[in-house]
Amino acid sequence: MKKITDFNLLGFIILGVIIVTWVYVISIFVGGCDSSSKTSNYSTSSKELHSGQSVTLKADTLVSSSKENDDKLMSYINKKNKDGENQMLISGQATILKKGTKVNIISIGITTEIEVNGEKWYAPLECFQ
């Protein structure tokens, strides 16, 4: 049987720390679509989303008026820039869809296009999974 040396043990520990750190960082970026909720934001019988599907939001959800504004909003959320978020809300570049709102999925992607009462909005796919 091969003996584990201090060098090999140290390597395994470093590798473990790197993996845990990587998982933590990924969870921060994928963690949620509103700044307070980390759970699934929709309710439907099927967990698989597709274009044309109608879902009911289970939590308040921040959405943007364009894909570009969605990128900007996600940047503000990740940096905890509440002033930036509020400015987007005031200017109409973003809005909060309330829990219980029915939304129609128009197109699925990293940034998903939805329709609510005839208006198009955008949010990360994670907001609806």
Give the C-alpha separation, 38 to 126, whole Å: 10
Structural element, H or E, at residue 116: strand 111-116
pLDDT on residue 23: 63
Query: Does the residue 14 lie in any domain?
Result: no
pLDDT on residue 7: 57
CB 58 within 8 A of CB 43: yes
pTM, to two decimals: 0.63
pLDDT on residue 3: 58
**Domain count for the chain:** 1
Query: Does the residue 6 lie in any domain?
Result: no
The number of beta carbons lying within 10 Å of the beta carbon of residue 123 is 24
- Quick one: tokens of 114? 């939805």
Q: What is the domain range of residue 59?
A: 31-128
Low-confidence ranges of the chain (pLDDT < 50): 28-32, 34-40, 42-46
pLDDT digits (tens, 9 = 90+) for 19-43: 766 665 555 444 445 444 434 454 4
